Amino acid sequence: MFPSLLCVALPVAAIEVDGRIDPGEWQGARHVTGFRKVQPLNLEPGSLTTEAWIMATPDGLAIAFRNPQPQSVTWTRQRVQRDFNAQVDRVNLMVDFDGDGRTGYNFTVASTGGVSDSVITNENQFNDDWDGHWLHAVSEDGDGWSVEMLIPWYIAPMRKGENGMRTIGIQLDRVIGSTGERMAWPGASFERPRYLSEFEPVEVAQYSQSLLAVTPYVSGLYDNIGGSGDFEGGLDLFWKPNGQFQLTATVNPDFGQVESDDLVINFSATETFISDKRPFFTENQGLFEFTTPSDDSQLLYTRRVGGPADDGDGAGDIDAAIKLNGSLGGTKYGVFLAEEADDAGRTFAALRLVRDFQGQNLGAMLTRVERPFLDREATVFGVDHNWRPSDRVSVESRLIGSRIDDDGETERGSGGSVFVNYEMDAGWRQQWLAMHFGDTLQINDFGYLARNNLNYGHWQVQRRFTGLEETSRYSSKDWRARVSHTSNDHGQRLNDQFRISRQSQLRDGSSEYMQLNLNSSGVNDRLTRGNGVIEMPANFNSYFEYSRPRKGDWAWLLYADMFSGGLAGNDKVGYDFEFRPTYFVSDAFSIYGGLYYERIPDWLVWQRDNLVGGFDERSVRLKAGLDWTIDTRQELRIKLQAIGLDAELQQAWRIDGSGRAVASAEPVDDFSVRNLGFQIRYRYELAPLSYLYVVYGRGGFDLTQDADGPFPALEDSFQLRDDEQFLVKLSYRFEI
């Protein structure tokens, strides 16, 4: 494919980003028409005409959209907060500044002026934890609405061009909020395995911008339980002297809780993955993405830095951290260093290299963690290769090795994966996946892997239906069928599975998903934490979710699940469901409240050594809150989560040497859990990436040996007060 040429012969004038597309300003820009439907993915012409313009200027990459919209097509007037995910009228610019399909950036502007931005990696994985500084404006008239964007060249590291030009990859799209229709140029879709590498190559004039930005902060926290206060100060530094080098550093970073994580109650042997929203760790982190097809796995999991300290005394205290991104010729590189304080402090280091070739790219990553308190050093090395042998086939390969020096003992491990996708005709696709993680592979000192000691393979076939009758309530249906095998590295079968699922888009903008898994018998080798495996009978699980965007004053989400499991297998069936409506008092103010109920009739919970309790578990979870977009700079958010869980013992079990569960009369207590998280957060944007936060938070956790029922436990959770804090944080970004 030859890159499209963006005319640069004429002198480039400055763009006034006011949302009004002045023909004089955009003279010489690339004019884009011919937007095609990608949701539903039939590549037919969009139902509404859309035009766009692309132009490289010394100040940045300039994009304009003209979106005619007759009054017969409902306009969504809902105001949204930054990094929104509401289905509203909006446009998107997706850009790969190096044009190599490795890292992309998504810039979204809603018709009401709200924005969202995210990083795209692994072809079609979006992460909205990153926030960039870019310009945007919206204007509206009787016939439609218009958007202008200006993306500064310093927003991301990028390779040097050739002969004063550079080739970037671009996709532009528009979403109609009332129907969910998405139309794009070119017709690439993130629903396909290949997305980033399908962007339109566009050749633009090479410009370079330098930037030095210093963001000092001050914060004050008052602990209402301990009756004490704390005052902190520090700064973040961003320096980009040219397009090929970028440095980000932080000194005494403040990770005060201005973003609240969802409550999780986890009695399993698998660690819960939590994404990172701390600014230093999200700034241009895309290069360090090294993942495998295993859920959430990655070699560099930034939540480890400043995570629970090795001495068990709270979180680690970070002295400083630094991150370098750049390119040398055709090779991209990244360096990450972080140092924690005190005797229990850890030292984290990572080196990343990536090289792009025709139709493929190759990368390597080395991480190292020194943990002197534990007398432990962990080194992990990985190689990732992405290959596109044809327009229809893509292959992703990963190889990982680890070396752990722990208290004088050395242990090595290895793992790898191969992921193949094949795009066929008439909406058919096939997928093959093979993974192996040895039982001595360890990457969790710096990375995240849900489990090692794993062999997994699956074959999947998919068929997309888009040519549905106009009378159908569906605009598209995507059916998938999968067969898989999972075993551990000792040849023990965990389970075989047959899965069938359907993802559907409705003509009113709603979405629907359903899935059925039929699981064979096998063993559970994790429940007893290394004290033997348990033979498990065959079981099933099914899932249904329906999401309806705002219609009038209401939007809502519904999902339900039915499943079997435990030692009872299919003899006992559990279920859960949630209903979460949202009421819009106005376009700027909404209230939501949802209730989740769960029943697991044979819930296995490890007690000690090879003793397991089988419980009848019931839990209730409440999620409620409000979102108020006061104006373009101010927002107020209230978030409440409460959980009441009740578990009544049905039978205690001992696991014998052959994996059989033997009934035991040993005493095992009923128990209940109460968990509360409540936050009120006010945010005022003083200037781009400069904020004043005022936050009140309260929470608690309680585990008791009783079982009075989930609703009394939920009610009691509102009395919890383990933590109660008031935080004020001010940060201001100075750009030089």
In a domain, 698, yes or no: no
Q: Are 82 and 131 a contacting pair, CB within 8 Å?
A: yes
Which of 450, 473, 502 corresponds to the end of one domain?
450
Tell whether 715 is covered by a domain.
no
Say which range, 92-101, 111-120, 288-297, 470-479, has the weakest mean pLDDT: 288-297
Contact 97, 168 (CB under 8 A): yes
Nearest alpha-carbon partner for 184 in 56, 85, 42: 42
Q: CA 14: distance to chain centroid?
A: 36
Which pLDDT score, from 0 to 100, does residue 242 have? Answer: 84
Average pLDDT on 249-261 reads: 74
CA 405/CA 411 separation, integer angstroms: 7
Helices within 500-636 (DSSP H only): none
**Number of folded domains that form the chain:** 2
- For residues 692 and 732, the answer to whether their CB atoms sit within 8 Å is no
Binning pLDDT at 50, 70 and 90, where does residue 142 land? confident
Q: Which pLDDT belongs to residue 330?
A: 81
Whether the predicted pLDDT of 185 surpasses 50? yes
Task: Note whether 200 and 148 are same-domain residues.
Answer: yes
Q: What angle do CA 118, 122, 124 make, to 5 degrees?
A: 60
522 — pLDDT class (breaks 50, 70, 90) = very high
How far is residue 41's CA from residue 35's CA, in Å, rounded to a whole number?
12
β-pairing, 200-205 vs 4-5, is parallel
Least confident of 16-30, 49-63, 190-204, 241-255: 241-255
Specify the pTM.
0.89
Residue 6 has pLDDT above 50, yes or no: no
Going by pLDDT thresholds of 50, 70 and 90, the confidence category of residue 7 is very low
Are 151 and 103 contained in the same domain?
Answer: yes
312 and 445 share one domain: yes
- Whose tokens are 């190889």? That residue is 399
The answer to whether residues 180 and 275 belong to one domain is no
The verdict on residue 36 lying in a domain is yes
Residue-level pLDDT at 13? 59
What is the Cα–Cα distance from 218 to 233, expressed in whole angstroms? 4
The mean pLDDT of 433-457, rounded to a whole number, is 96
Same domain, 275 and 334: yes
94 contacts 61 by C-beta, under 8 angstroms: no
The DSSP element (H or E) to which 241 belongs, if any, is strand 228-242
- Assigned domain for 676 exists: no
Average pLDDT of the chain to the nearest whole number: 93
Domain boundary among 450, 481, 496: 450
pLDDT at residue 734 tops 80: yes
CB 306 within 8 A of CB 123: no
- What is the rounded CA–CA span in Å between residue 730 and residue 732? 7
Residues 248 and 184 in one domain: no
Summarize the confidence of residues 273-283 as an average pLDDT. Answer: 82
Domain residue limits at 38: 4-207
How many whole angstroms from its chain centre is CA 309? 25
Confidence tier at 173 by pLDDT (50, 70, 90):
very high
pLDDT at 565 over 80: yes
Q: Of 192, 207, 222, which residue constitutes the final position of a domain?
A: 207
Q: Does 466 fall in a domain?
A: no
Residue linked to tokens 């299919």: 570
198 shares its domain with 235: no
Per-residue pLDDT band for 294 (boundaries 50, 70, 90) equals confident
pLDDT tens by residue, 330-367: 899 999 999 999 889 999 999 999 998 888 889 999 99
Whether 1 shows a pLDDT value over 90: the answer reads: no
pLDDT band (50, 70, 90) for residue 158: confident
- Measured distance CA(233)–CA(588) in Å, rounded: 34
Helix (H, G, I), strand (E, B) or coil at 169: strand
Residue labelled with tokens 């995210």: 118
- Domain CATH code at residue 61: 2.60.40.1190
Q: How many CA atoms lie within 13 A of 582 on its CB side?
A: 22
Residues 195 and 300 in one domain: no
Q: What is the pLDDT of residues 475-513, one digit of tens each?
A: 999 999 999 999 999 999 999 999 999 999 999 999 999
Shared-domain flag, residues 119 and 235 = no
State the sign of the Cα–Cα–Cα–Cα dihedral 244, 250, 256, 261: positive
On whether both 115 and 180 belong to a single domain, the answer is: yes
176 and 243 share one domain:
no
Strands 723-731 and 690-704: antiparallel
Residue identified by tokens 């093979």 is: 434
In 352-459, which residue ranges form alpha helices assigned H by DSSP? none
Does a structural domain hold residue 647?
no
- Sequential DSSP letters for 327-351: EETTEEEEEEEEEE-STT--EEEEE
Q: What is the pLDDT of residues 59-115, one digit of tens each?
A: 999 999 999 999 889 988 899 988 888 999 999 999 999 998 888 999 999 999 999
Residues 6 or more apart whose CB falls under 8 angstroms from that of 348 comprise 304, 305, 321, 336, 337, 338, 339, 367, 368, 369, 446
The answer to whether 527 and 547 have CB atoms below 8 angstroms apart is no
Residue 388 in domain: yes
List, in sequence order, every residue forming a beta bridge with 379; answer none if it has no partner: 368, 403
Are the CB atoms for 126 and 120 separated by under 8 Å? yes
Asked whether residue 191 falls in the same domain as residue 245, the answer is no
CB atoms under 10 Å from CB of 572, counted, come to: 18
Give the integer Cα–Cα distance in Å for 161 and 149: 23
For residue 257, what pLDDT band results from cuts at 50, 70 and 90? low
In a domain, 319, yes or no: yes
In the DSSP assignment, the letter for residue 394 is E
Closest by Cα among 87, 95, 140 to 117:
95
Alpha-carbon distances of 202 from 6, 216, 268, 468, 601, rounded to whole Å: 7, 38, 49, 35, 58
